[in-house]
Structure formats: C-alpha cells, structure tokens
Structure 1
Amino acid sequence: MQGRSAATTALVLACTAHFLVLFDVSVMTVALPSVQTDLGFAPAGLQWVVSGYTLAFAGLLLLGGRLADLYGHRRVFIGGLAVFTVASLIGGVAASPAMLIAARAAQGIGAAVLAPLALTLLTTTFPEGPARTRALTIWTAVSLAGGASGNLLGGVLTEYLSWRSVLLINVPIGVPAILFAARVLARRGAPARRVRLDLPGAVLATAALTLLTLGVAQAHTHAWTDRDTALPLLGGTAALAAFVVVETRFAPAPLIPPRLFGLPGIGWGNLAMVLAGASQVPLWYFLTLTMQDVLHYSAAQTGLAFVPHAVVMLLVGLRLIPWLMQHVQARVLIATGALISAAGFWWQSGIAPDSGYLTGIFGPSVAISFGGGLLSTPLTTTVTAGVGSADAGAASGLMNTSRQFGGAFGLAVVLTLTATATSGIRATPAALADSYGSAFQAIAVILLALAALTPVLPALRDTQHATRR
C-alpha cells in the first residue's frame, strides 16, 4: 500500500496494538479487590498484579523496540500478539498468586513488543508537524479509550461474571487480531544484514528496573537501611551501571543507540515521561481502592466512575491539542497540564467516606483529566522529535520504557509514603481515606516536579516543523 491508504493502515494497526496493551493495564485495576479475596493475596503482594505486568513491560520495551528495527514489523507484531494472548489465557485460569503474577509478567513481555511497534508505525509513516500531531492525537485518544473501557468493562465483568473473565476476554480479541495482522502486514521490513540482538543489554535493563522497584517496594514494610531494601537498590544500581557500559562499549546493535542522546528531546524528555508515568499508574490503583474501600462502590460502579476521566481527556486531545500545538510551545502545554492535574490530585486527596460523587470523584477527575489531556500529546511529540526511521523503534522503546518504569516505580514510591493504605480489611473507611489522600498528595508533588522540569525541554511547536520542511 502507498500514500493515504498506507498511512491509514499504519494508524489502524498502531491504534489497535496500543488499545490492547493499555486495555489490559486498566482492566485489572477494578478487579484487584476480587483477586485479593479469591486467591488470598497478602495486601503488600497485591501490587505485583499490576507491577508484574508493568515491570516486564518496562524492562523489555527497549528490546521490543529494537526487534522491529532489526527483524521487520510483520513477524514481530504477530509474535508479540501471540505471547500476549496465550499469557492472558494462562492468567485467566490461574490457581495461585504466583501463577497469576507470572502470567501477568508474560503479558508484559508481549506488550513490550507491541507497544513500541505501534509508535514506530506512526513515527515512520507520518512526518513531523501537523500530520504527526493529528496521528498522535488519535493514537492518544485510542489509548484513553482503552483505559476507560478497561475500567468500565473490568467492573462489569468482575461484578457479573468473575475477575477471571477480564483476562480471558483477550483470547477472542487476540486470535482474530493475529489473523488480521498476518493478512494485512507485508512480508518485508527486515534488513538484509542480520544483527545479533543485544540480549545482555535486555537482561541488565530488566534486572535494573526490577531490582530498583523491588527495593522501593520493600521500603513499604522495611526501613531504607534494612537489608531487604538496601540489597535490591544496590543491585539495581549496579545493573544499571553495567547496562550503560554494555550499551556504549560492547553491544553490536545497542538497545539505545548513544547517538539518540544528541537529540534535544531524548534525555530530559524521557525524564519528564518517567514523572508522567509515575502519576498515572498510582492514580488508577489508589482511586480504585478508594471508591471500593471508602465509598463502597461496586465493581461496576467503579468502572462507570472512571468514564469522565477518559471523556475529558478525549475532548481535550481531539479538539484542543491539534490547534494549541500550532500556537503554543509543547513545553508550555506540558507545564500547564501538569499544574492543573496537580491541583486536581490535591482536591482528590480530600476524599472522605461521606463524600458525594460530584465533589468526591467527578470534580477532581475533570481537573486531573483536563491537565492530563494537555500534556500527553505534547510530551510524546517532544520525545520523538528529530528521530530518524532507523532508530524509530529504539526511541519508541525508550519512551515507553520511561513511562512504564515511571508507573511501576511511582506506585512503589507512593506505597512507601502511605504505609496504612494496605493496613488490612480491619482498617476503618476514614483511616483508609486519610491514607489514600496522602497518596493523592504524593502524586500531586510528582506532577509539580514535572512542571518544574519543563524549562529545560526543547521549545517545539508544529509550525516550526512545517517551516523547516
């Protein structure tokens, strides 16, 4: 396919893959209380149903992004989708906490292949400027739809069927998607010269991310100087240092080519992406628990309560962002969005057992989502600006790694700051409200840090790209 038809096909495939990945992140959040009861999870271990997915996802995104660059889109897309679908089946029939966490980690591996390829299809098809902004806006909107439908459908399936159905539903979605991809994607894209994969780099990256997050998570129940906390942190730091050495000196095809860091948006932009991710995953985690443990919403009611988040972000992303990106610098939009979202989280921190829906959930969600809609697409545009087609997969993998690691690491950090959040089922709703309120305040602080970082980001707007071309 060529021209507009090829661009449309790329956009459809990118959006489909991204929808599945983010749908499965959010679809489990509403089911967490039911999973805990059914499989007997300890309160401190429940986070690994979320973090097991996000850590495997984040740790292997660099490798997943490079796979498409080296072996072609078709083969990599189908392989990642197959792993994701089989893992969903195993998770749906899990009989123990360990089995479920392992299945979630396997899902993360499949998602690590799909997510960077989705963004690679866009950045290699649409040139920088208004065309790419429109494509990224649609891509972002679909990701929000995936998150919203995951929360909504997860609540309905959990309440009327079982938490297992939120995983098993991926099977009848994944199998047709594999067949469609096999038919539509061309048998091309792999280079003539095969390059050995950077498996040592992938192992070190995964080890570093996992150990660092494990160390922070251990601080939730142990002191920072305790052996159970200090050893993972030291091990993660050592693995990260080794990863840098391997990438810069020994890897024949580095997961992160050092030349990428010569681009203005890669370094600081990915740090901003870490902070953005660190505010997103804790939101879904703590707001789900707040609605069910403090306000006593059912699973279905919880899913419905998340809908305003997606609607507001969709309206902002589809209506405002394409115009704003042509008149306002991306970093200004990022800072403004972060500040508005921080105000929303501070408002959300005042939740109480007697809070009504309008002031307790709806009002804060409008502020949080309006700010999130303002910063999402400009931040993605900043991180991908100037990246050539040969490095598109690596840059996409790095961006997704930053966001997903930020989510897992942010959740672990916020959990350590809210020690009573998982104090057990005997905790009163008022005590849980105070603890979850502290979590929302911590997320607000993370967003303030993101706003403070924006002056060092490159000054970009779509009219600059159009003039340059």
Structure 2
Amino acid sequence: MMRPDRRATAALILLCAAVFLDSMDLSLMGVALPAIGADLALPEGTLQWLMSGYAVAYGGFLLLGGRLADLLGRRRMFLASLAVFAAASLAGGLLSDGPLLVATRVVKGVAAALTAPAALSLITTTFAEGPRRNRALGVYALAGATGYSAGLIASGLLTEVSWRLVFFLPVPVALLVLAAAPRVIPAGRATGPRTGFDTAGAGAVTGGVLLLVYALTETSWPAGAAALALLGAFVAIERHRRNPLVPLDVLRSRRLASANLAALAWACATIGWQFAAVLYLQGVLGYSALDTGLGIVPMGLAIVVTANLAGRLIGRWGLRRTAALGLLVQGAGILLFLRTGTSSGYATVLLPALIVHGVGNGLSFPSLNIAAVSSLPDDRQGLASGLVTSAVQIGAGIGVALLAAVMAVPASALDGYRAAFLTAGSFSLLGAVIAYLGLRTRAEPAAAEPATTAPTSTRA
C-alpha cells in the first residue's frame, strides 16, 4: 500500500499535469495558426477564434466549475471534465472544417473550466494551511505558469511536422492522468449543501464574459452594452439569491479582491504580450514556427527557475512584496520590447527582454495564486480557485482582444506592435500597484519553509 506522503506527492503531480495541459492549450494554437489557415484555407476571423474561443469559454465557465466542484465532489468533477478535454482534443486533430474546429476548442475551454477549480481545491483541502500548502501551491502555480510558455514552444516544434499534432498532444497525457488518478487522488465528499445550482447567475456571468471579449475582439459597442447589462444582472441576481454562485460577501475581502484584480492585470499583460510578440517574430522578423518556438525557450526556463525560488522569497518578503516585484519585473521585460525594430538582433534585443519577462512572471504568478486561495476557508476552496483562475482566463481574453485592436490603429505594423507592447507593460505596472496596496490585510506566511520546492504532502 502506498505511503500517505508518497500518495500525496503522486496526486500533486497528476493534478499539476492537468493544469499544465489547461494552460498549455491556451497557447498551443498561437504559433500554429498560419499553418492551419494555409492548409484549410480558413479566414482570419476563424483563426482568431481558435484561440479566443478556448480562452472565453474557459474564463466564462470557471465560476460555475468551482461551484460544481464544491457541490458534486472534486475528484468526480476532475475526472469527468478531463475525459471530455481528451475527447475534444482527439476530435480537433481529426477534423478539417473551420467551425467544427472552433467548436472543439470551445468544448475544451468548458472542460478546462471544470477541471482547474477541482484540481486546485483538491490541493488546498489535502494540504493543511502553512508552509506545506504554500509549497504545493507553488508547484501547482509553476505548472500553470510554465504551461503557457511550453505551449508556445511545443507549437513551434510540432507545427514543423504537422499542425494536427498540436491538437493530438494533450490526448496521451490526459489519458495517463485519467488512468492513474483514481488510485492516488482521494475520493472525498461534496462539501456544499445540496441546494441546486444558481442557473440564472451562471448564465448571466458566462454570457456577460463571452459578450465582453467578443465586443473587444470585434469592436462592437452593442455587444459591449449587452455584456455590461448581463454582468449587472449577475450582481443583482447574486444579491437576492439564497444560495448564489458567488456570495458577494467574499468580495468584501480586500485581499481576495486585490489578488483577483492583480491576476486579471497579470494575464492582460503577459498573455496579451506573448500573443503580440509571436506575431511580431513571425510577421516582422520572418521567424519560422520552429524559430519562434526555440526562441521562447529561455523565457520558459527563466519562469521555471524563478518559480522554484518564489517560495523562499514569499517566506522572506511576504506575498505583497513578492507579487508586486514580480509584476514590476515582468512589466520591465515587456517594455524592453519597445527597443525592437525591423531587424532586431536576438542576443542583444530579444533575449534580455524574454529573460527579464520570465523572471517577473515566475515571481508573480505563484504569489497571486497563493494570496487568492488563502483568503477563503477550506469549504470555499472551489470558489476561491474558480475566482482566481477565472480572473486569469478573462484577463487572457481581454488582453489578446485589446492588444489586437491596439495593433490595428497605427499606420505601420511596427508602430502597432510597439503600441501593443506599451499597453501590455502598462497592465503589468497597474497589477503591481494593486498587489502592493491590496495584499497587506492578513499576516504573511512564515519563513520557516520554502513554498515551491518538491512537496512531501498535498494541495488543491
């Protein structure tokens, strides 16, 4: 029989593998889009929704996913949604019709929205609050932080062979997790009362998020007005419902609200910037898909190394200072891309910016995740993880849509990219201010143990 500490470690590895897949799938399309468009003769609008359809569905359904994890059981939701994710990945690799490809991406986004909160809450309810939980959360955050960069790298490598491999890649990993998870992840029990689902609230917030990102993508004022109306209706519904999807009292926590706002700004900055940077590398500098993937490798390595050190810095400096510093450094890396031109050298211009961005990214992402989930008790961990992951995914959708709109304004393509880099850097600096001012309402974790080394116990 497996020892409890080994079982906990194995469970953490499987849960991190799942969130790695969720994050990676957000970026897998980025480098492959030109090849997909050329092979299937797809219009630009369809190609754009291969990315944004996943992010929008992911962000829009996360709050519902967190609630379902609490009500129906975390392991049950984790396994069921991961199975749907694998099936949609397989279908996407076999299809050649543009709208059907977009549909598989949307289904995968919904499945990821149900998987991530269940996985995160399984970690937080397995590990007791303190250094061990922080360490496990740090490993989990590392998996999410590196997943996006790994997706960009893998996309470049696989597209050189066939863009269909980009769709197939998650399938074997998901199947391995599904086979092993029932043996090491505790079954647990549903923690929420059987009070039913807030269908009206879920519909309002999901529709509002979908329309908001669509409005930014298509520059549609009617869609924007409808989005605001739905989000306003969501607040009204939650105020008057006995068992709301999101109890509005949790938003009175300054720490929780600040962590989620900073996470939204973090995603607007880093994911929006990476979207623009990939287009710049291929469109202006003429990089191939393989060149782009390999060029991003140093940034991914910087994220991995720094995220492994983040726990020690959190213990020494506290979450507030670590998160704010990380966002400032990340913003500096983004703003260094303002030096780029039509023939920028990789070693002298691009590489320093990529490494600086990766260092800041690796510091800020674990800090914001730990701050968010530590703001609510164990019986609301599904809600806490759903809120912060939703903030990241909604930020991703907003960041990509907004930077795409910004790039289209200037007369020259290079000026458009620079405007996008400046906008993304501003989001990162805004996140730093929010983190520094808002994450100081509760005692910081003790410095007794580092938070992001390999775990000896568990997390959610």
Q: Assess, with a 3 A threshold, how the Cα gap between structure 1 residues 284 and 192 changes in structure 2: closer, same or farther.
A: closer
- 2:81 is the counterpart of 1:91: no
Deviates more, 1:374-383 or 1:172-181: 172-181
Q: Which residue of 2 aligns with 1:211?
A: 211
Q: Which residue of 2 aligns with 1:226?
A: none
Report the secondary structure of 1:386's partner residue: coil
- Tell me by how many angstroms 1:338 deviates: 1.8
Q: Assess, with a 3 A threshold, how the Cα gap between structure 1 residues 149 and 213 changes in structure 2: closer, same or farther.
A: closer
- Tell me by how many angstroms 1:52 deviates: 0.3
Deviates more, 1:348-357 or 1:231-240: 348-357
Question: CA RMSD for the aligned pairs?
Answer: 2.2
Deviates more, 1:361-370 or 1:186-195: 186-195
CA contact 1:26–1:147 (8 Å) conserved in 2: yes
Q: Which residue of 2 aligns with 1:452?
A: 433
Q: Assess, with a 3 A threshold, how the Cα gap between structure 1 residues 248 and 4 changes in structure 2: closer, same or farther.
A: farther
Q: What amino acid sits opposite 1:458 in the alignment?
A: L
CA contact 1:349–1:439 (8 Å) conserved in 2: no
Q: What amino acid sits opposite 1:25 in the alignment?
A: L
- 2:297 is the counterpart of 1:314: no
Deviates more, 1:204-213 or 1:170-179: 170-179
- Tell me by how many angstroms 1:287 deviates: 1.5
Deviations 1:329-373 (A, max 9, x none): 322222222222222212112222311111232110111111112
Q: Which residue of 1 aligns with 2:44?
A: 43
Q: Which residue of 2 aligns with 1:70?
A: 71
Choose from 370, 375, 378 the match for 1:386.
Answer: 375
Q: Which residue of 2 aligns with 1:169?
A: 169
Q: Which has the higher contact order (CA 8 A, sep 6+)?
A: 2
CA contact 2:27–2:51 (8 Å) conserved in 1: no
Q: What amino acid sits opposite 1:403 in the alignment?
A: V
- Tell me by how many angstroms 1:164 deviates: 1.5
Report the secondary structure of 2:190's partner residue: coil
Q: Which residue of 1 aligns with 2:342?
A: 353
Deviates more, 1:187-196 or 1:96-105: 187-196
Deviations 1:115-154 (A, max 9, x none): 1112112221223332222112211222234233322221
**Could you tell me how far apart the structure 2 residues matched to 1:288 and 1:407 are?**
15
Q: Which residue of 2 aligns with 1:411?
A: 400
- The aligned runs of 1:414-453 (5 Å cut-off) are 414-419=403-408, 431-453=412-434
Q: Unpaired runs of 5+ in structure 1?
A: 220-228, 424-430
**Could you tell me how far apart the structure 2 residues matched to 1:144 and 1:293 are?**
26
CA contact 1:83–1:109 (8 Å) conserved in 2: no
- Tell me by how many angstroms 1:182 deviates: 3.4
- The aligned runs of 1:65-464 (5 Å cut-off) are 65-160=66-161, 162-190=162-190, 194-219=194-219, 229-250=220-241, 252=243, 254-319=244-309, 321-419=310-408, 431-459=412-440, 460-463=443-446
Q: Which residue of 1 aligns with 2:14?
A: 13
**Could you tell me how far apart the structure 1 residues matched to 2:327 and 2:190 are?**
40
Deviates more, 1:388-397 or 1:22-31: 22-31
CA contact 1:128–1:465 (8 Å) conserved in 2: no
Report the secondary structure of 1:46's partner residue: helix
Fraction of identical pairs, as percent: 34
CA contact 2:278–2:292 (8 Å) conserved in 1: yes
Report the secondary structure of 1:28's partner residue: helix
Q: Which residue of 2 aligns with 1:224?
A: none
**Could you tell me how far apart the structure 2 residues matched to 1:175 and 1:454 are?**
38
- Tell me by how many angstroms 1:250 deviates: 2.0
Report the secondary structure of 2:255's partner residue: coil
- Tell me by how many angstroms 1:45 deviates: 4.5
- Tell me by how many angstroms 1:73 deviates: 2.0
CA contact 1:256–1:395 (8 Å) conserved in 2: no
CA contact 2:213–2:401 (8 Å) conserved in 1: yes
- Tell me by how many angstroms 1:42 deviates: 3.2
Between the two proteins, the alignment pairs up a number of residues equal to 446
**Could you tell me how far apart the structure 2 residues matched to 1:435 and 1:137 are?**
36
- Tell me by how many angstroms 1:44 deviates: 4.6
CA contact 1:65–1:397 (8 Å) conserved in 2: yes
**Could you tell me how far apart the structure 2 residues matched to 1:146 and 1:465 are?**
29
Q: What amino acid sits opposite 1:273 in the alignment?
A: A
- Tell me by how many angstroms 1:98 deviates: 1.5
- Tell me by how many angstroms 1:255 deviates: 2.1
Q: Which residue of 1 aligns with 2:25?
A: 24
Q: Unpaired runs of 5+ in structure 2?
A: 450-460
CA contact 1:10–1:121 (8 Å) conserved in 2: no
**Could you tell me how far apart the structure 1 residues matched to 2:227 and 2:444 are?**
37
**Could you tell me how far apart the structure 2 residues matched to 1:165 and 1:419 are?**
31
**Could you tell me how far apart the structure 1 residues matched to 2:330 and 2:221 are?**
33
Q: Assess, with a 3 A threshold, how the Cα gap between structure 1 residues 296 and 389 changes in structure 2: closer, same or farther.
A: same
- Tell me by how many angstroms 1:276 deviates: 0.7
